[in-house]
Amino acid sequence: MTNKNYFLITGSSSGLGENLVKVLNEKGLKTIGIDIDEGKNTDIVVDLASISMDDIEKIKVNLENSKIDSIIHCAAVQKNPQKNLSNISKTFDEVFSVNTKSIYVLIEMLESEFSEFSSICVVSSVHAIATTVNNTLYASSKSALRGLIQGLTLEKQDKMSIFELILGAMDSPKLLNSVNEKEVNDLKNQLPSKKILQPEEVSNLIIDLLIKHRSILHGSSIVIDNGVLSQLSTN
């Protein structure tokens, strides 16, 4: 498989983003990893909560006169504010800036660098559809992505294919840092499939969709959740 253009991945230092870089590189595809944290798969350190024109220029330099084939937006912040005005505003802005605003900024500021009919995969969450307590900001920011994608679907219909992948619980550092092993096992046992998503499975699915099926995905929302929504909707 050959492609002279780049796949741009946000959230490349861990979880799904890290695995995507690994799998894409194994397939001989070129990547640019973006994350706030340094790591072996991070090419450019960027704080997506406050992305700047300097950051945009760094991305352009890393393209080395090639184009962007696809952007895969994996970066996400999931946190709750403390009960004071300053922290509520700060946390709200951070969650929405990373989860929602940053992909809009990247698309608009890098559009001139896109290959012909490029593709954008926005990784969302089942929390955009049915959420749980203490996830208000995260769920709201993921829900906002739907409106963003609908608008961009109309505005960019001749230039790119943009779609969202709505994921359920996945075996990742984010999940394992938020719950203990017993809670993970309890979640698995509640699901029809008795398993949670694995980064390798999702990575290969995303790559397959981007390479083989982008022309039919424009504006789509694809749910891959192993039955998580069936549980959330009944709780």
Give the mean pLDDT of 155-176.
Answer: 86
Mean pLDDT of the chain: 91
Reported as a single tens digit per residue, the pLDDT across 215-234 is 899 999 999 988 878 766 55
Q: pLDDT band for 1, please (50, 70, 90 cuts).
A: very low
40 to each of 43, 46, 190, 200, how far by Cα in Å? 8, 15, 36, 18
The CATH class, in words, for 6-232 is alpha beta
Q: pLDDT band for 184, please (50, 70, 90 cuts).
A: confident
**Distance between CA atoms of 153 and 150, rounded to whole angstroms?**
5
Q: pLDDT band for 179, please (50, 70, 90 cuts).
A: low
Between 149 and 190, where is the model more confident? Answer: 149
Domains of the chain, residue spans: 6-232
Handedness of CA 94, 96, 98, 104 (dihedral sign): negative
Token pair, residue 95, equals 């969650």
Of 6-10, 130-134, 169-173, 194-198, the least confident: 169-173
Q: pLDDT band for 180, please (50, 70, 90 cuts).
A: confident
Q: Are 52 and 25 in contact (CB under 8 A)?
A: no
Specify the DSSP element, H or E, that contains 26: helix 15-26
